[in-house]
Amino acid sequence: MTVHIGAKPGEIAETVLMPGDPYRARWAAETFLDDAVLVNEVRGMLGFTGTYKGNRVTIQGSGMGMPSFSIYANELIRNYGAKTLIRIGSCGGMQDKVKVRDVIIAMTASTLNSPSSGMFKELNFAPCADWSLLKAAVEAAEAKEVGTHVGGIYSSDVFYSERPDLDKEMTRHGILGVEMEAAELYNLAARYGVRGLAVLTVSDHLLTGEALPSEDREKTFGDMVEIALEAAFA
């Protein structure tokens, strides 16, 4: 057990999918895993372990934002031996070609700030996805014929942005979408030598104003989950 995860030794799989929403973790576990068992409910941040096509996997909520994500990812890696961490979450589209419900597979994650920024000091470290996971996720998405985009995303440390100038520059430089956790995942994956990837569903769009209701965000992102699972065990 750790401060934030109540699972016993051996209850967390080496492969962990990490949605921000703990209820999405429950939905994904009930929908895609066999014999899913609740292994964490500390602070209401639900985690489940089961199997997918015979492979053990944990789906653990991370909360919103990089500080919260960093807590769970650190403990999963350092205390439970997680080797593959895949964020499955929502994001806001930032390009005309990106449509609501499309899937974004993040090669890189730009950010203004993250919990790792103090470590790098003046260095602008460029965190990126694990190549083997990225390649497998793209292949899984192509097999499902899902609207998919591969490229850079922006991990923001605020949800209600007051920097339209920054959003404009992100769009200008080809950033596909904005979310709040992936940059720290990629930092931690590099630091600890594990595999990290973010597979995201576009839930709203900064250019068009289109947005999905909260229930759809929680329960209708099946393509993203399947792509992540297939990539993890390719």
Can you tell me the distance from the alpha carbon of 191 to that of 185, in angstroms, rounded to the nearest whole number?
10
- 43 belongs to an annotated ligand binding site: yes
- 217 belongs to an annotated ligand binding site: no
> Which listed residue (102, 167, 204, 223) is catalytic?
204
- 59 belongs to an annotated ligand binding site: no
- 70 belongs to an annotated ligand binding site: no
Q: CB neighbours (10 Å) of residue 163? A: 12
- 89 belongs to an annotated ligand binding site: yes
What is the enclosing helix (H) or strand (E) of 179?
strand 177-179
- 14 belongs to an annotated ligand binding site: no
Question: Is 204 tagged catalytic?
Answer: yes
- 205 belongs to an annotated ligand binding site: no
Q: Enumerate the known binding-site residues.
A: 4, 20, 24, 43, 87-90, 179-181, 203-204
Q: Enumerate the known binding-site residues for phosphate.
A: 20, 24, 43, 87-90
Q: Enumerate the known binding-site residues for a purine D-ribonucleoside.
A: 4, 179-181, 203-204
Residues annotated as catalytic are 204
